[in-house]
Structure 1
Amino acid sequence: MKLIHRIGYYLGGFSIGLILLAFFLSGKKTSCAYGPNARTIKSISTKKQRFYSDAVESAMKTHNLDTLAITNLIKTGDVNFSESDTKSEGCKTYLIENELNDKAVELTVKNCDSAATIQSLIIK
């Protein structure tokens, strides 16, 4: 069999496989969260209970933010692992950096097994 025929068969099978995958996975909520940043954000976002410290609630009132805005800041933010406490047992503390209206935002989130607590919200 010639090389061009092999390449043709390979590309034909590959394209059929892609179409089948697109068909079967189109309606499912699949995600590819393999990186440390994506896994941490997903872990914080999927907590059923989320608590806010008094300082965060007052900062939210000052800057006219609601819980949906905080959720979006967490989901689209980047975790700064060099400033985070990832070595502690039980609850780990993460620093999430993002931008809001061209201003830098830093969120400190304490991520426990059953709940996440936003401890600080700094808008620079």
Structure 2
Amino acid sequence: MKFVHRFAYYLIGLVMGCFFVALVFSGKDTRCNYFPNARVLNSLRTKPFQYSEKAIKTLNEKWVDTSDVRKTLTFGDVDFDQSNIPFQKGKLYIIEGKTANNQEIILRVINYENKAILDDIVKKDK
């Protein structure tokens, strides 16, 4: 069998295999969160998210807004030395991130089984 024929069979098999893999994984909500930071942030993002009175008061000061909070919950860094502590029947997580104006912030989020509450937003001291 010539190389051209073998290569054609290879491409046909590759295309069919890619089609079946895409068919199997397209309907599922699969995520590859292998690292602890990604797991915690994904857990907080997928739950119903609420704001405490203190957090709402800070948001009303206009130096930070909800888009900054969402960005921090997506790209932030969880401080595991101060996090994963039992707190008010949930677990407290300290997440460091930045606002759109490059102001460093710290979010205190309480993670419950069925919801997550943003407890406080603090400017990080440099």
TM-score computed with the length of structure 2 as normaliser: 0.70
Count of matched residue pairs: 113
Moved more, 33-42 or 86-95: 86-95
Q: Give the corresponding residue for 2:62.
A: 63
What is the letter of the counterpart of residue 58 of structure 2? A
CA shift, 1:69, in A, is 3.6
Q: Distance in 1 between matches of 2:34 and 2:52?
A: 30
Q: Give the corresponding residue for 1:3.
A: none
What is the letter of the counterpart of residue 39 of structure 1? R
Q: Secondary structure of the residue that 2:106 maps to in structure 1?
A: strand
Q: Give the root-mean-square deviation of aligned CA atoms.
A: 2.8
What is the letter of the counterpart of residue 62 of structure 2? H
What is the letter of the counterpart of residue 70 of structure 2? T
Cα distance per residue 1:30-60 (max 9 Å; x no partner): 3201211111111111112x22111110111
CA shift, 1:65, in A, is 4.6
What is the letter of the counterpart of residue 79 of structure 2? N
Q: Give the corresponding residue for 2:53.
A: 54
CA shift, 1:102, in A, is 1.2
What is the letter of the counterpart of residue 56 of structure 2? E
The structure with the largest strand share of the pair is 1
1:1-124 to structure 2, matched below 5 A, reads: 21=21, 25=25, 29-48=29-48, 50-63=49-62, 65-84=64-83, 86-88=84-86, 90-100=89-99, 101-124=101-124
CA shift, 1:95, in A, is 0.3
Would the alpha carbon gap of residues 14 and 83 (structure 1) be closer, same or farther in structure 2, given more than 3 Å must change? Answer: farther
**Partners of 2:68 and 2:98 within 8 A in 1:** no
Q: Secondary structure of the residue that 1:119 maps to in structure 2?
A: strand
CA shift, 1:80, in A, is 0.5
Cα distance per residue 1:48-90 (max 9 Å; x no partner): 2x22111110111112654344222212211010111x25385
Q: Give the corresponding residue for 1:4.
A: none
Q: Give the corresponding residue for 2:6.
A: none
Gaps in structure 2 of 5+ consecutive residues: 1-10
Gaps in structure 1 of 5+ consecutive residues: 1-11
